[in-house]
Amino acid sequence: MPQQHQQHSQPTPPMSLTLSHTLEILAHMSKLDFSPRDFMYTFFSSNHAECIYRCRLMKNGSGEKQNKSILKNYGNLIKSSEVGLQFWETFILNEASAIVNGQDVVRGAYPKGAYVSSNQIPSDFFSESSEARRTEKIKDGMPFLHSLISQKISMSLKHKASKPDSPFVKPNDNSSRRTSINPKTPKTPESAVTRRNSLNPTEPSVKGDEEDEVLSLANLVYVKSTPSEVADHKAQEVPVAICAMIAYQCNRRCNAVPLQNGLMVLAGGVSCRVNEYLQCFGLTTQVFHAVLDAMEHLRISQEAQLMEVFKVNQKLLPLLCFDNVDIHLRIHNSRIDLSSRLFHGTWGFYTVFRAALLASCDAEALSLAVFVEAMKNSDQKPVMIDSFAPRAGESVHFEAVIKAQLALALVEHVKHLPKGPSPQDLPPLAVAPPKIDPIEFHTPNIHFLRMMDAPDSSADGVSQVLDQVMTQIGMQKEQYAENLLVAGGDVGSNQLVKSLRGKLHPPIDSIEGLSWVLSVFGPAHTTWNFAEAVWALHWGNSNDGEDRGAWRSSFELGGDYSKPVVQQDFNSIMRSIQIVHKANLVFIIR
The mean pLDDT value of the chain amounts to 79
pTM of the prediction? Answer: 0.65
Mean per-residue pLDDT, 368-397? 84
Could you tell me if 447 and 507 lie in one domain?
A: yes
Question: 318 and 300 in one domain?
Answer: no
Beta pairing partners, 344:
326
489 - beta bridge partners? 521
231/82 same-domain check: no
Number of helices and strands in the chain (H, E): 25, 5
Residue 169 has a pLDDT of: 34
- pLDDT value at position 143? 93
Q: Are 146 and 264 in a shared domain?
A: yes
Same structural domain, 466 and 491: yes
Q: What is the per-residue pLDDT across 524-547, written as a single tens digit (0 to 9) for each?
A: 778 888 888 888 888 888 888 788
Q: Are residues 43 and 98 in the same domain?
A: no
Q: Residues 147, 236: one domain?
A: yes
Among 521, 548, 563, the domain boundary falls at 521
Same domain, yes or no, for 495 and 584? Answer: no
Last residue of a domain, one of 277, 311, 345: 311
Could you tell me if residue 456 is inside a domain?
yes
Q: Are residues 321 and 302 in the same domain?
A: no
pLDDT, tens digit, for every residue of 487-509? 887 777 777 777 777 776 666 66
The answer to whether residue 330 is domain-embedded is yes
Our CA angle for 452, 457, 460, nearest 5°, is: 75
**Which amino acid is residue 562, in one-letter code?**
S
Inside any domain, residue 548? yes
Helices 256-267 and 128-141 pack at an angle, to 10 degrees, of 140
Number of domains in the chain: 5
Task: Provide the pLDDT for residue 90.
Answer: 94
Q: What percent of the chain has pLDDT over 90?
A: 11
Q: Of 472, 506, 521, which marks where a domain is finished?
A: 521
Q: 111 and 232, same structural domain?
A: yes
Dihedral of the CA atoms 242, 243, 246, 250 (nearest 10)? -170
Say if residue 346 is in the same domain as residue 491.
yes
DSSP letter for 486, please.
E
- Residue 182 in domain: no
Residue 218 has a pLDDT of 42
The DSSP code sequence of 25-70 is: HHHHHHHTT--HHHHHHHHHH---HHHHHHTHHHHTT--HHHHHHH
Least confident window among 49-53, 239-243, 417-421 = 417-421
Tell me: the pLDDT tens digits for 80-126? 999 999 999 999 999 999 999 999 998 888 888 889 888 888 888 88
pLDDT digit string (tens) for 176-197?
A: 333 333 333 334 444 444 433 4
Q: Which domain holds residue 534?
A: 525-589
Could you tell me if residue 529 is inside a domain?
yes
